Chain A
Amino acid sequence: KAGVTQTPRYLIKTRGQQVTLSCSPISGHRSVSWYQQTPGQGLQFLFEYFSETQRNKGNFPGRFSGRQFSNSRSEMNVSTLELGDSALYLCASSLDPGSTYEQYFGPGTRLTVT
């Protein structure tokens, strides 16, 4: 069974631009969560989607948004990029929210904002 895939793997953007990252969960997994990893803060929860609905949201500004499609694939968007948005963005999938807390992570998208 294929794992969680994320595209692109690396991305360089300039301040003020926007970016869209994509995540395909493990086949059969319906819950997708997004995390931001930075050296100083570790992994921080961004948001979670299940059945095309955002179920939970972390403490991030409104510039960070996401969506989920009917095939469970998910995208996250960051608008008006800031230098501090440079980070590794990780997507994780699980079968259903609440049925298991084990989440399976993709390799991440490394975003650099210059």
Chain B
Amino acid sequence: DQQVKQNSPSLSVQEGRISILNCDYTNSMFDYFLWYKKYPAEGPTFLISISSIKDKNEDGRFTVFLNKSAKHLSLHIVPSQPGDSAVYFCAASGLDQAGTALIFGKGTTLSVSS
């Protein structure tokens, strides 16, 4: 059973607009959530994270929102740029995960057109 779900395999946005990527999780023991970006032929790159004690974390154009009651998080990219086109992975970890094992969603491919 998938514990971290990214239900939209792809998203297309125009340059300058907002991109919203969504992620749902089922395990209430998760206490830390991360977003990674991946370009072809490269490993995932850490973007931004949020602890479960917060509901928002912002870093430049990237903001992550966490709704614990809904077990939902989202990544907002404002404004979107063509260089943001990549696969975005949502990941989670928590108290029942020994060490730093991350549980990943299957990813959302973002395409930003100019």
Q: A interface vs B, CB < 8 Å?
A: 4, 31, 33, 35, 41-45, 48, 50, 55-56, 58, 90, 92, 94, 97-98, 100-108
| CB contact between A55 and one of B34, B41, B45, B98 (< 8 Å): that residue | B98
Pair count A-B, CB < 8 A:
71
17 interchain pairs, CB-CB under 8 A: A42-B105, A44-B104, A45-B102, A45-B103, A55-B98, A55-B99, A56-B97, A56-B98, A94-B100, A97-B99, A101-B34, A101-B102, A102-B46, A103-B46, A105-B36, A105-B44, A107-B42
CB-CB under 8 A from B89, the residues of chain A are 42-43
B93 interfacial contact with A, CB 8 Å: yes
Q: Which residues of B contact A (CB under 8 A)?
A: 32, 34, 36, 41-46, 49, 89, 91, 93, 97-107
A89 to B102, CA, bound (A): 15
> How many angstroms between the C-alpha atoms of A97 and B96 in the bound complex?
13
Residues of B within 8 A of A98 (CB): 99-100
> In the bound complex, what is the Cα–Cα distance between A45 and B104 (angstroms)?
8
